[in-house]
Each structure stands twice: as C-alpha cells, then as structure tokens.
Amino acid sequence: MWVRIRVPASTANLGPGFDSLGMALPLFTTIQVRRSVRTKVVLQGPVLQGLPENEDNLVVQMIGHLFALRNLEPPPVELVMESQIPLTRGLGSSAAAIIGGLLAGNVLLADQEKPFSTDELFQIATRLEGHPDNVGASLYGGLVVTIWDGQRAYCQKLMPPASLHVTLAVPSYPLPTERARGALPMHYSKEDAVFNLSHTGFLVAALASGKLQMLRHAMRDRLHQPYRAALVPGMQEILERGQEYGALGCALSGAGPSVLALSEGEQPELARFMRQVFLEKGIEAQVYSFRPWSDGAEVEREEVLEGSSR
C-alpha cells in the first residue's frame, strides 16, 4: 500500500511579519512512500536533481526522526518524490519536505501504534525548522499567523480573501537561507521594532477583514528586507514601484530571492514589470500568477503507485 502526500509551497513574512506570517502557494512537493525490504529513493523531475537518493534524503530522515520519538526503529521505505517548488528560492522547499516526511512517517507509524496529532506534528516541524511560519502554511494551508517562544508554537489559520491574487517572480539563482539570515543585524532599534509590530497588525487586519486596499499601507518592513536588498538585485525597485503596476503591496518571499506582489485580482502588467526589472539586472526570472492555496497538506492511500502500470 502506497501513501501519497502532497504539500504546498509557502511564502513567509509578507513584509513586516518576520518569522511569524506565512501563506500557502499552489506549487507542490509530492511524496509517495511505502514500507519495503530496503530503502530506495527515486527523485523525479529537474527540481530535485543533486539531492540525496539514500538514507540522507530529508524526507527519509524525517520518517526516522518521527519513529525515534517513539523509541522505534524506522522501517526501510521505498520513496518516490517530485517537486514544483524551486529550491533555495524563499518558497519553503525544506519546510515542505519536513512536513511531507513527518506526515509519511505518521502514516507508517500508525501501523504499529498511536500516531501523532496534527498539532504535535506542527510542534515537531517548528523545532526542526526553527520557525513556524513556513511549516504552518504548508501543513494547514491558507494564511497563517504564528508565534513561537522556543518551547511551543501556535498557529491560527485565516482563509485568503477570494479576490486576493499573488504575482511571484522567482529569479534563476539560489540564495541559501543561511546567507540571507547572515545579512541581518544582531540588534534593532525600538523605533524599527514598533514600526514592524504596527505594520504586522495592520496587515493581518487587512487580510482578516478582506479590506485589501489596506495592504497599500501594511507591507513595509524595517527588520529584514533593507538588509537583504544587496543580495537580491531588483528587489528594491519592485518594492518601491510595484503599486504603479497594480500591486497593493510587495515583499521579499521568505529569505529570498523570490519577490511577491499581492493584488486584487490578476494584474498582467505587474507580472511583466517584475520580470523586466530582473531582466534589466541580467537575471532571468520565472513569473507565476495565482491565488493563494487554501488547503493544507493532503494524505491519501493508494493501491498502485501513481503513474505506474502495476
């Protein structure tokens, strides 16, 4: 019996909500797994090229981690994985793999004893990832407001307003999270902290109420984007001029280098503008236009591997 898990991508921060706000996006990592006599990993598609195809694979490690929490030996597994989520682009690829691996492990664990609850999986994923925004969005879907005190995480899901639209520009070069976090200062002024607190509250109010025009004033940030601008050529221009082309607000997606714009309905001129800004910096960028993804990770059992004639 195969288990099929589909996990959405995520964007984090949305400007001022550093390490606390997240949103699911309709790009997916798909994992199919079953017990086997020995571990075998098959990675499909160009996105996952170069990743481990053995026990070092992150999904396999997550299965093992979950069994270890129950003091059980993990079973060998046959794993088939593909992904639409570009790696190291600020779109939660590692969070999706963590969630997918934990969900896979949880189904396998249920063959032997009581599985973990969804909230317990969220707690485990947050500890592993170090912050709850991406894993919360990938697990629960929609818009998530999260908090994490180093011991316990909390997540409140909001349904995205029906007219909310995302334009996402994904540059062709990677930006490792460690490098992006290394650009941040160790200390912030009280003024900058208050600035982000107030803008985060206003942003959540805009999204929760559906009053999207409020986003025009809500997505500015002083805690991370100014310090990462040098790592993402073109980002600052998109942030400053996006509203001229139909954006309500723009932000760096997670640690970058992807940049997103939120709008009311689809804005083709905005997509062209974002692509052109990167091109003028000598950078190719793939631009997506879609609604946020309202559903969370999905788990289902299958008799036959999808795409197989068996």
Annotated binding-site members for ATP: 86-96
SS (H, E, C) 184-229: CCCCCCHHHHHHHHHHHHHHHHHHHHCCHHHHHHCCCCCCCHHHHH
- Of the chain, the end-to-end C-alpha distance in Å amounts to 12
SS3 category, 146: strand
Q: In Å, what is the CA distance from 58 to each residue of 50, 63, 106, 178?
A: 13, 9, 15, 17
Dist. CA 85–CA 83, nearest whole Å: 5
Tell me the two tokens of residue 104: 């896979």
* Alpha-carbon gap, residue 141 to 46, rounded angstroms: 25
Q: Which helix (H) or strand (E) holds 40?
A: strand 40-44
CB distance 216 to 247 below 8 Å: no
Token pair belonging to 100: 């997918």
Please, which residues have CB within 8 angstroms of residue 39's CB and are 6 or more apart in sequence?
A: 54, 55, 60, 76, 77, 78, 79
Dihedral sign (CA 44, 50, 55, 59) = negative
CA-based R_g, the chain, Å: 20
